[in-house]
Amino acid sequence: MKKTKTNKSVATLQRIPRLEALDSRIALSATTWETEPNDRESSATAFVVPEDGQVTLMGDSTSDKDKDFFVFQAPQGGGTVQIQVNSSNGNSPQLTLENRTTSVEVFETEPNDNINGGTVVLDAGTQYFIRLRSKNDHSAQYQVQIVFEDANSTGNNSGNTGGNSGSNGSNTGGSGNAADMVDEAEPNGDKSQANAIDLGLDGTIQLRGTSDSSDDRDYFRFTAASSGTLQAEVQTTNGNFAALEVENTQSVNILETEPNDGVNSASGTVVAGQTYFVRLRSPNGSAAGYIANLSLNATNNGGGTNTGGNNNGGSTGGNAPTGTIAESESNDSKSSADAFAVNHANAARLTGTVADRNDEDFFRFTATESGRIRIAVSSPSGNLAKLEVEDQLGNNILETEPNDGVNADSGMVQAGVTYFVRLRTPNDSAAEYAVDVAFQELGDSNDDGVFNT
């Protein structure tokens, strides 16, 4: 039977109660080592998930000719599995997940594209094969972290597994209570027919439906009860991840996922009292069954300081870091941009290195007030990087031209709009950069917001 491949994603790990044990070769431990021979499905190493819902698979695929198989059974109530492949010798193997009953390949990683994890919905009570194989002729020593979530535990918050290592967390589970489930109601093919939903204050909600093809758009709408960060995560019920976008009433994009690039979660800033539209649609000609998790985290106005570091592709609201922000790879696309905050009280310095012409570094911020943003680029190594700032629609706000000796510029920003800062080398050499960013309020006639360069 021909095996069908799916898109990839990375999402927050969560936990479930203990699963039913397999009836043969059960390994009742949190860590399961491969047992040779396991190079065929018939000799796959079996494992069961312990009570905390987490399992680590360990082994070594000696080359692309060495396949390691594992087998497990999905929970009787269905749910999702989150997979992350790590390597102790720097050579991450490729992982595939196959439905044993249908022989359909429902998930795979792409280590050559630096995609080493993802999440997928499982069929209730069904057995699945996991196959690991080196992507080249070299040994791939692996540690595969696997976490299961049953269909009834979507409200659990396992903390942060993403780029923000501080107290902010990724919190895709909201406050820890089970999220309300809303099924799409047809017709909802345009904004005027959008299904109304209510997140509430710091609330969560799940949207469920099917986009029959890229021509079938499913719209939902909500009014933000508070200002803060909206986090969205898309799961799939049939192996085809839907693309999700959130726009305000002026059609300004707040956040979006990119399933074709393996990006199935995103976040952006919303403003209290404003209405937003959530759109889901298949990225191709096939049906995309989806469960979209939305969580609104209200801005903390208590004046606290976030010491959690960078949040890749994450919050750009009140919890975004200020001060010196060092790039955290990978930040080579808008969807993985490092977030920071800048306003009349806080300047920012962005630091990092663009390695060559193929390397781009992205940062992002959401303006909390309207005014002028001023930037200046310097370089400890002498090769000045080129900088551009664009809004969510791709409109250029400012840019430098290091080849012409222009390494500072300014431009106007609007409150509530997210902006992207892109840096790249102007030549074939690496460009180490330090970018000073300052904000000048509208009406600040004495230019207090200007920094010294």
Question: How do residues 23-57 score in pLDDT, each as one tens digit?
Answer: 333 333 468 889 989 999 999 999 887 667 788 89
Q: How confident is the model at residue 158, as a pLDDT?
A: 35
**15 lies in some domain:** no
Mark whether 68 and 110 lie in a shared domain: yes
What tokens does 437 get? 């960013």
**368 lies in some domain:** yes
Q: What is the CATH number of the domain that holds 354?
A: 2.60.120.380
Q: How confident is the model at residue 320, as a pLDDT?
A: 62
Cα end-to-end distance, the chain, whole Å:
65
CA atoms within 13 A on the CB side of 433: 37
Q: How confident is the model at residue 214, as a pLDDT?
A: 93
Mark whether 193 and 285 lie in a shared domain: yes
Residue 253 lies in domain: 180-298
Which residues of the chain, if any, have pLDDT below 50?
Answer: 1-29, 153-178, 301-318, 445, 448-453
Measured CA to CA in angstroms, residue 406 lies from 56, 205, 297, 376, 428 at distances of 52, 48, 40, 9, 19
Q: How far apart are CA 208 and CA 309, in angstroms?
A: 33
**353 lies in some domain:** yes
Nearest to 75 by CA among 9, 141, 153, 183: 153
Q: Which of 298, 333, 364 is the last residue of a domain?
A: 298
The strand pairing partners of 245, in sequence order, are 256, 279
**381 lies in some domain:** yes
The strand pairing partners of 441, in sequence order, are 371
Mark whether 294 and 336 lie in a shared domain: no
What tokens does 220 get? 């939902």
Mark whether 146 and 221 lie in a shared domain: no
The answer to whether 437 and 374 are in contact (CB under 8 A) is yes
**2 lies in some domain:** no
**419 lies in some domain:** yes
- Residues 92-147: pLDDT tens digits? 999 999 988 888 888 888 888 778 888 788 888 888 999 999 999 999 999 898 88
Q: How confident is the model at residue 443, as a pLDDT?
A: 56
Mark whether 137 and 64 lie in a shared domain: yes
**14 lies in some domain:** no
Q: How confident is the model at residue 207, as a pLDDT?
A: 92
Q: How confident is the model at residue 140, as a pLDDT?
A: 93
Mark whether 206 and 117 lie in a shared domain: no
Q: How confident is the model at residue 200, as a pLDDT?
A: 55
Q: How confident is the model at residue 226, as a pLDDT?
A: 80
Q: How confident is the model at residue 449, as a pLDDT?
A: 44
**9 lies in some domain:** no
Mark whether 339 and 248 lie in a shared domain: no
Mark whether 217 and 258 lie in a shared domain: yes
Mark whether 379 and 430 lie in a shared domain: yes
Say which amino acid occupies 63: S
Q: How far apart are CA 387 and CA 400, in angstroms?
A: 5
Mark whether 269 and 337 lie in a shared domain: no
Mark whether 294 and 335 lie in a shared domain: no
Q: What is the pTM of this model?
A: 0.37
Domain count, the chain: 3
Mark whether 287 and 328 lie in a shared domain: no
